[in-house]
Chain A
Amino acid sequence: MWDLFISIFVNVLIWIYDVVGHNFGLAIILFTILIRIVTWPLNAQQMKGAAAMQALQSDKDWQAIQKKYAKDKEKLAQEQMRVYKEKGINPFGSCLPTLIQFPIIIALYQSIIRALASTPLDLLKLSRSITLPNVSDLIPLNSKFLWMDLARPESVLIFGFALPTLALIVALTTYVQAKLTMPAATTPGDQSAAMSGMMSIYMPLLLGYFALTFASGLSIYFITSNILGIVQYAMQGKANWRSLIPGGLKSK
């Protein structure tokens, strides 16, 4: 089943690669746009869920429940679930798209490695994945894109020091995206804002580490996806630009 998933990714990537004139970097960018379009409803649901959770933090009934059952965790959870039900909020609605991202990232990483086939074993596996007709003239795919080899981790040699530029860009764009979508804290103990704050630190570090360690084709996906996310939020007027300024999100 998983291998079928990878095969679909590989075939779509190779098809795009063929259409755009044998440029695998461009194929990854277009594929990422395709993924963003397919997951658009999920992202919209995330924003809706985040907004609902944010609104709930300033709800007086919600705050009263927090105070009343502060020492009874079980009862607090029951009451919270009741409020979620009453207001029609899915508490996991805002994190579902984040969870969906991971199988996609893993599948894309495996697809890139398989499609670029830097070892004989990878090339043999590729032969099993291809269902498109007459692609033997495309194999092997050109792994060069700008200054990068998309099958390998990227770095640029500056004064004898290998600077991982893509990893830095991945971390930066992930940070910007996380910050822009971070809700303003409505109360001093706003859990939702606190969690978003933590994620805006952990996610750039984690994705930056992935970019540093794995094939640079994956970094192209991260960067494109982050930029598209920022653009999507901005187009919907939901980007919180103030949050990029230190102290810009403090509750009043």
Chain B
Amino acid sequence: MRKKLIIVTMILFGAVFLSACAGGAVRGMSWPGLATDGQTAYLADGPFVYAVNLSDGTELWRYPGSRNGKLTFYSAPAITPDGLVIVGSAGTDHSLIALKPDPKTSVPVEAWKFTGAKDHWVAAPLVLNNKLFAVNSDGNLYILDLQDGQSVKDATVVKLDGRLWAQPTTDGERVYVTSLDHSVIAVNAETHEVVWHEDLGGAVPGSAILGPDGMLYVGSLASKLEKFDPATGNHQPVLDAENWIWSTPSLDGDTLYFGDVDGNLYSFNTSSGKLNWKPVKPDGPITANPLVQNDHVLIATESGSIFAVGNDGKVLWTQQIGGKIYTTPVAAGDLTIVSPLETDFYLAALDVNGRQVWTFTPKN
């Protein structure tokens, strides 16, 4: 009898433990996506997308109005010139949803919904000339016409490879897509044909960025920063990092800032092809893109800190937010908005000196 009790107890313990594994300790399956239009912060975080008033940190609306088991969000929303908030779901229905905020209600209207993808949406879509370039974990680039909401069902599908987790980049002529299958792909923005497809030897979870020299720069899990000729795809490594480069480099003049998962911040001069200074090592792994400000760059770390690093590599100030920060902070006027994990609040707004102005915690 005692044996039976022990076995049944272990089975129940195992079931509970396994169930706990599926959810994880964080709010959603991954870190939240964050965007702003200067007035409102849009946070895609687990079961909801929240719109938060930047002036006081209050909730304007959330989508969906109540929990929907098929929907979960962590890709950063994209905001179109006409005010649509477009966000992809990492839930089971794989939908890409365009939300139109309605001042009369606390729930935005679904302007349209695209359900033609087969996997999770991790990356924010790119808006270019009334077209939406959206990449999905199923390895496809979906091109949707923003002018006609009905035509989203007939999206142009460009079959690429691997899981596509980063927002595409464009120079207006081509759209550059990075893939976890180790490649960078250039697609003609008009004809939608693949112009070139190059292997980097490591997965690319971040986006490419166009440098002031007209070249394309990409970091990868091969721990290298690569420089591409955007016309031909010819490329070469220009810097070896200490570990995986997760973040998308941020551009300030002719300098690229980027971090690695060992916690190093690099300042790479695209003109000289050299580092401006020895890498700064704040206090934890860096997955968020550096945020370039007037005379400094803000770095968010997994240790829950924000570091302001000057152009000379000196730390100007630090602010301990708490929790873990993986999401790229966004700037809105004098505010910097940060979204940590494993904290009671979902958003924190900092002023130019790093002082906390408000925090946002959803009700219910």
Contacts and interface: CB of A to CB of B under 8 A. Distances in A.
Q: A and B from one assembly? A: yes
A94 B3 CA distance: 9
Interface in B1-16: 1-4, 6-7, 10-11, 13-15
B90 interface: yes
Contacts of B180: 139-140
B77 to A, nearest CB: 16
Contact of B29 (A121, A124, A209): A121
Given A105-B14, A136-B202, A136-B244, A195 B3 contact: yes
B50 interface: no
Contacts, number: 96
Contacts of B90: 119
Given A95-B7, A195-B3, A137 B201 contact: yes
Interface stretch (B18-26, B104-112, B310-318, B351-359): B18-26
Given A123-B205, A137-B222, A140-B203, A206 B15 contact: yes
A120 B30 contact: yes
Contacts of B11: 102, 202, 206
A98 B11 CA distance: 10
A210 B244 contact: no
B300 interface: no
B5 to A, nearest CB: 11
Nearest to A137: B201
Interface stretch (A34-42, A106-114, A180-188, A236-244): A106-114
A118 B180 CA distance: 11
Decide if the interface of chain B is mainly helix, strand, loop or mixed: loop
Given A120-B205, A137-B182, A140-B163, A127 B261 contact: yes
A119 B29 contact: yes
A118 B19 CA distance: 17
B interface residue count range (under 10 / 10 to 19 / 20 to 34 / 35 or more) = 35 or more
Interface residues of A, number: 34
B14 A139 contact: no
A51 B137 CA distance: 52
Contacts of B22: 213-214
A119 B30 contact: yes
Nearest to A149: B119
Nearest to B262: A127
B255 interface: no
Given A99-B6, A121-B30, A122-B30, 8 more contacts: A109-B21, A110-B21, A118-B137, A120-B205, A120-B287, A123-B205, A140-B163, A206-B15
19 contacts: A91-B2, A91-B3, A102-B10, A106-B21, A110-B21, A118-B120, A120-B30, A120-B165, A120-B326, A121-B30, A121-B31, A124-B246, A124-B261, A124-B287, A127-B243, A137-B201, A137-B202, A195-B4, A213-B22
Interface of A: 91-92, 94-95, 98-99, 102, 105-106, 109-110, 113, 118-124, 127, 136-137, 139-140, 191, 195, 198-199, 202, 206, 209-210, 213-214
The 3 closest A-B pairs by CB, nearest first: A119-B30, A121-B30, A102-B14
